[in-house]
Structure 1
Amino acid sequence: MDVNTQIGQKIRDLRNQNGLTQQELADRTELTKGYISQLERGQVAPSVATLLDLIECLGSTASEFFKETGNEQIVFREQDYFEKIDDDGNSIQWTVPAAQKNQMEPLLVKLCPGMALPEDKPHDGEEYGFVIEGKIQLHLGDQIYTVQKGESFYFAAGREHYIENPGTQEAKLVWVSTPPSF
């Protein structure tokens, strides 16, 4: 597929996502409906100024418009995970590699009996967790919450917080932070 056809398809997709007709887009950009039609079919090549004007009128940016998404990994397998095991045997697996570039960071956490993860300082964002095995205690500011298998937690991360495993068996949970913390 040539560049003009790719640009035309992206313009048409954005126009449709915004619920605009070709005539409405033409009116907003001071172009003709015929030109928009030719552009969407890859029959004409817009100038850089015209293309940037179209992109802006469609509520996007040049970087988003030209961002390649074709090779984006959607499914992650265990061999893709990055795992950190601390001196106590606790495990944190980053189940989406390079998640720090995304808006959320999912983790698979395994806590040994009687162990705790280091305390997180207050930060912007939110935290969510779902306990898969065992039970944990969530320390949130001065409060302590017990969360058992099949239960979840959700909170704004503006207070100091950490989790510990008060039980006699390993605890396993999915933990999602947004935005990712480094």
Structure 2
Amino acid sequence: MATSPKKRKQKGHPEMLGKAIRHRRKALGKTLGKVAEETELTTGFISQVERGISSPSLSSLMAIAACLQTTPEQLLSVPEKYSEFIQKDRRQSYAIGSSGRFYEKLGPGFPGSLIHSQVIYRPPGHVSEKMSHEGEVFCYLLVGEIEYHLDGEIFRMEAGDVVHHHTSKPHHSVVLGDVETKELWVSSSPMSSVDTKV
């Protein structure tokens, strides 16, 4: 069963996140074009994020944060805590934007960790960004159904199914049915070179 919305910590409102990104970008003296170039996102998308019109996926936010020499947690005002043991009721959690996506961070447990792990909840009908970037990703679907698009192939995932691939292959997914998904994701880091079509 997915976590009750009442128990979820709501972080990452589009306008507040956009202001944080814009403030950090200007503090570093970077233009929208420079950030777009370094993240391989479009200038228009970065501008929409800064104005609170669009909210980035976690992958895009990680790319933006890396470009701005910071972390998603700092941009979202989520405390960064490292722990090699994390109790189930003490996970860091946050939402990004208003699309209903919600994240529970499972790590990293120590500075310099090479993987990111999290449980992601997505509402029915949610469509992720189309992207490709260096690294690899593993997803174990815990609850719900997903249509996973991977480099021209389409896989219908049900609870218990797994996808594991190099992220240089273009990929995105769609939540099917009327049930919120619960997805365990493990990806290599840092993520960069994200190719997003808005």
Q: TM-score, normalised by structure 1?
A: 0.54
**Does structure 1 retain, via aligned residues, the 8 Å contact 2:121–2:180?**
yes
SS state of the match for residue 116, structure 1? coil
CA RMSD in angstroms, aligned pairs only: 2.2
Is 2:184 the counterpart of 1:154? no
State the AA in 2 paired with 1:92: Y
Q: Give yes or no for contact 2:135–2:191 (8 Å, CA) kept in 1.
A: no
- Aligned partner of 1:145 in structure 2 is 155
Post-superposition, which runs of at least 4 consecutive aligned residues in structure 1 deviate over 4 A? 97-100
Kindly indicate whether the alpha-carbon contact (under 8 Å) linking 2:118 and 2:184 is maintained by their aligned counterparts in 1.
Answer: yes
In structure 2, the CA distance between the partners of 1:100 and 1:117, relative to structure 1 (3 Å rule), is farther
* Correspondence for 1:32: none
What does residue 9 of structure 1 align with? Answer: none
Match status 1:112 vs 2:123: yes
| 2:114 paired residue number | 103
Alpha-carbon offset, residue 97 of structure 1? 5.1
Write the letter of the residue equivalent to 2:177: G
Higher Cα Rg, which structure: 1
Unaligned runs of 5+ in 1: 1-71
**2:114 counterpart of 1:91:** no
Hey, what's the Cα distance between the residues in 2 that align with 1:162 and 1:100? Answer: 29
Deviation at 1:112, TM superposition (A): 0.5
* Whole-angstrom CA distance in 1 between matches of 2:183 and 2:101: 12
1:175 pairs with 167, 185, 191, which one? 185
Give distance in 2, aligned partners of 1:138 and 1:100: 32
The aligned counterpart of 1:12 is none
Q: State the distance in 2 between where 1:166 and 1:79 align.
A: 30
Q: In structure 2, do the counterparts of structure 1 residues 81 and 161 end up closer, same or farther at CA, with 3 Å as the change threshold?
A: same
Report how many aligned residue pairs link the two structures.
110
- Pick the aligned partner of 2:137 from 82, 103, 127: 127
Bigger relative CO (Cα 8 Å, ≥ 6 apart): 2
Secondary structure in structure 1 of the residue aligned to 2:142: strand
3-state SS of 2:176 partner: coil
- Over the matched positions of the two proteins, sequence identity in percent amounts to 20
The residue type paired with residue 127 of structure 2 is A
State the alpha-carbon separation in 2 of the partners of residues 92 and 86 from structure 1.
11
Q: Determine the C-alpha separation between the residues in 2 that align with 1:140 and 1:178.
A: 18
TM-score, L = length of structure 2: 0.50
> Does the CA contact (< 8 Å) of 2:150 and 2:170 recur in 1?
yes
Q: Distance between the aligned counterparts of 1:99 and 1:73, measured in 2?
A: 6
Deviation, structure 1 residue 117 = 2.2
Q: What is the rounded CA distance, in whole Å, between the counterparts of 2:187 and 2:111 in structure 1?
A: 10
Structure 2, unaligned runs of 5 or more: 1-81, 193-198
